Structure 1
Amino acid sequence: MDTTLTVRKPGAAIGDRVEVSASDLPQCLAGGTTAPVLLVTGTPYAPGLDAVTGDLLWQAGVREVRIRETVGADDGILHFLHFLREAASYDINVVWESAGGLGCDARLLYHLPPPAGDPSWRSAYRYGLCHYRVGPGFVTVTDQRRGPTVPITLGETHEIRLVRDLDRPGQSEESSAFVALLQSGLIISHGRDALCLPYRLRRWPIPCTAI
């Protein structure tokens, strides 16, 4: 089934919606569409979703995304996790259901909007649980997914490059920097592809001590 993204405007009737393809959604959102609710029908693994950033969603007025299809560890799962991560960067609510395991330790995903029916994930989730900040020549990661805060400073050129290159799903590699980030849970791999899991904070929480 093709992926269709349905934009429903505030107060619109159920049938008053605009359907766009995954590849056309960025242009639709950038056009100023006011859409507090975005419905995703069909496979949620469309590569075109990689172009949908949290900034586009937020500026277009999207405050909630609803995924119609149940999500499992299928090929392309990293595209869906990237979409979740972008929504999480602005604390945008995502309503979705999991078909079971997503191909990794679920605790690595606790910083992303949780699926319905997973009490452990839902109780652990909060905004800013695993995020990073960019400085001149370094990246600082704050990770609280599996217990007390574990601050990590990435200063090696290869590590910083991986954080940048894997902001969207990209190819796995065998470098020592890649293996180190994989073992620390800061990137996730599926098949030949990989994705950086922490997101940048785009909204500062209140109170700021929440993170």
Structure 2
Amino acid sequence: MDTTLTVRKPGAVLGDRLEVSTSELPRRLADGGAAPVLLVTGTPYAPGLDAVTGDLLWQAGVREVRIRETVRADDGLLHFLHFLREAASHGIEVVWESEGDLGCDTRLLYHLPPRAGDPSWRSAYRYGLCHYRVGPGFVTVTDQRRGPAVPFTLRRTQEIRLVQDLDRPGPSDESSAFAGLLRSGLIISNGRDALCLPYRLRRWPIPCTVI
């Protein structure tokens, strides 16, 4: 599967576009070959999107991504959620819509850019709603997706390793650490693969008291 990005340069007419495949996207972003608005066509959950980080998007000048194709609940959904999470880490807007149910509790996704036509998600969403910080030998998570802020610290080596390993979609396992993170909503799984949901804050919100 592949994803094609149609990039409209600032001030260019609508017909002046540059199409970039998923395999070329990280290099294109690294070279600065992007624009404030990216128009995405093709499957929006190609595995190649896992190479796209929020830093790459932000440094290339991207501030909004518009997904042209409808997102469906299938095996590729975790790749798209990873893309949303990376955009959210910098507060980059993503305009997208889904077809039917996503097959999960969408409240777990309220910290990610909301889908079109979902007023509950849109009203709940804000930057920093569920994020983590890394320290020497610990990870501190702040989660406000389902109510007041619930900060807590992960200190077990296996939990910290899972947060790191599942920064991109990776295999699920049967460990107690995995089960605990799954119950707490810090990871999401399709049964075979899983993804860490909180993101690292890449810029500080103003006012900082919102998180």
TM-score norm. by structure 1 comes to 0.98
Cα displacement (A) at 1:145: 0.3
Residues in 1 aligned to 2:152 and 2:90: alpha-carbon distance in whole angstroms:
22
Could you say which residue in structure 2 is the equivalent of 1:92? Answer: 92
Residues in 1 aligned to 2:23 and 2:145: alpha-carbon distance in whole angstroms:
32
Deviations 1:144-175 (A, max 9, x none): 00001111200000000000000000000000
Cα displacement (A) at 1:82: 0.2
Give identity over the alignment, percent.
85
Contact 2:2 2:48 in 1 (8 A): no
Could you say which residue in structure 1 is the equivalent of 2:189? Answer: 189
Residues 97-106 or 86-95, more deviating: 97-106
CA 157–2 in structure 1, closer or farther in 2 if over 3 Å, else same: closer
RMSD: 1.0
Cα displacement (A) at 1:74: 1.5
Could you say which residue in structure 1 is the equivalent of 2:11? Answer: 11
Contact 2:70 2:97 in 1 (8 A): yes
Unaligned runs of 5+ in 1: none
Residues in 1 aligned to 2:170 and 2:99: alpha-carbon distance in whole angstroms:
24
Amino acid at match of 2:136: P
Cα displacement (A) at 1:206: 0.3
Cα displacement (A) at 1:101: 1.6
- Equivalent positions of 1:1-211 (< 5 A) are 2-211=2-211
Contact 1:97 1:115 in 2 (8 A): yes
Counterpart of 1:5 in 2: which secondary structure?
Answer: strand
Counterpart of 1:19 in 2: which secondary structure?
Answer: strand
Unaligned runs of 5+ in 2: none
Residues in 2 aligned to 1:191 and 1:22: alpha-carbon distance in whole angstroms:
26
Counterpart of 1:23 in 2: which secondary structure?
Answer: helix
Question: How many residues align structurally?
Answer: 211
Residues in 2 aligned to 1:113 and 1:19: alpha-carbon distance in whole angstroms:
24
Deviations 1:80-121 (A, max 9, x none): 000000000000000001212211101000000001100000
Amino acid at match of 2:128: G
Residues in 1 aligned to 2:47 and 2:72: alpha-carbon distance in whole angstroms:
16
Cα displacement (A) at 1:2: 4.2
Residues in 2 aligned to 1:47 and 1:60: alpha-carbon distance in whole angstroms:
21
Amino acid at match of 2:30: A
Residues 109-118 or 27-36, more deviating: 27-36
Counterpart of 2:20 in 1: which secondary structure?
Answer: strand
Contact 1:10 1:34 in 2 (8 A): no
Cα displacement (A) at 1:12: 1.1
Residues in 1 aligned to 2:179 and 2:186: alpha-carbon distance in whole angstroms:
10
Residues in 2 aligned to 1:2 and 1:62: alpha-carbon distance in whole angstroms:
20
Residues 177-186 or 4-13, more deviating: 4-13
Contact 1:3 1:40 in 2 (8 A): yes
Contact 2:4 2:42 in 1 (8 A): yes
Contact 2:139 2:154 in 1 (8 A): yes
Residues 9-18 or 197-206, more deviating: 9-18
Residues in 2 aligned to 1:129 and 1:67: alpha-carbon distance in whole angstroms:
23
